[in-house]
Amino acid sequence: MRYRKLGSSELEVSEISLGSWLTYSGGIEADKTRACTEAAFDAGINFFDTANVYGQGAAETAWGDILSSRPRDSYVLATKVYFPMSEDPADQGLSPAQIAKQIDASLTRLKTDHVDLYQAHRFDPTVPVEDIVEAFQKVVQQGKARYIGFSEWSPEQIEAAIDIAGPDLFVSSQPQYSMLWQAPEAEVFGLCSANGISQIVWSPLAQGVLTGKYKPGQPVPEGSRFASAEMAVSKDLVYSDATLQAVQRLVPIAEEAGMSMPTLALAWVLRRGEVASAITGASRPEQVHANAAASGVELSGDLLAAVDQALGDVPVTEPTPAPGAQPGVKHR
């Protein structure tokens, strides 16, 4: 496993990280969650990404039980705040009160006194950006988080927050990014890089579509992510006949290069220096090890050209708002 510096922080994160979005929030059983987490440590993965909203705290609770048995300095822990945590309309967003409340709740579930990275899961245009920045600064000042990041903010929102916070508060951006979803290359990568902010990307395997296991015109395989109602909630982002056909054109390219489809897809994401880590999900330990094998794999120019040709015009390349994202910035 290779490691990369996370933005302007002192954190060194594994190129492949383990996420808990659809799996450890209730998609798979507790014993499998533990087995996958142990496999991650075995593979050299040190970066674990979760969020308060995953299973309404279930994913954080699961990892709190598992990770708390290990030395706190042996892993880099990230969580997030923004999405609704109950039916109370006020129990969401990035108000200072909500940030203060949710960081404490996350720390309790995670059984730790601090997270290494606390992220705004989306931008909240209903709250003055000055209030948002100051609330996150307070979390750092209190020692509850070492660094702050954000997920799926627009360039306008990123610039507004940096203008107030200065260059050192935000160290990471978490966009969707894969061979099939290349949108952040257009604007976000360059803006963040100029401000010392790394990318930690979600869905680098396009929710499993880039493994090649989903075939055009065929039902989804039993036991796969999209066979589960709980884990298929964002299927429409990446699943269509066109994307499935493009992936099948990639399969012989991977085979000729002597690598698996997941390795090709993850190495493709990591070819960009702006990316510090690719967040992968796994429901079995062998998937963790297979994903980790992509760290350090270099792709030749000829191979990258073949990938581009196979993908054609299928990938999303234009700036595209993420699910749950809202435009605009409010000031005091």
Are 12 and 5 in contact, with CB atoms under 8 Å apart? yes
Q: Which candidate in 24, 54, 118, 147 is catalytic?
A: 54
User: Catalytic site residue 118?
Assistant: no
Terminal C-alpha separation, the chain: 45
Cα three-residue angle 157-272-289, rounded to 5 degrees: 110
- State the Cα–Cα distance between residues 187 and 124, nearest whole angstrom: 20
Closest to 262 (Cα-Cα) out of 193, 186, 203: 203
The contacts of residue 145 (CB under 8 Å, 6+ apart) are: 103, 114, 115, 116, 117, 118, 136, 139
- The C-alpha atoms of residue 150 and residue 246 are separated, in whole angstroms, by 31
Distance in angstroms (rounded) separating the CA atoms of residues 226 and 232: 5
Active site residues: 54
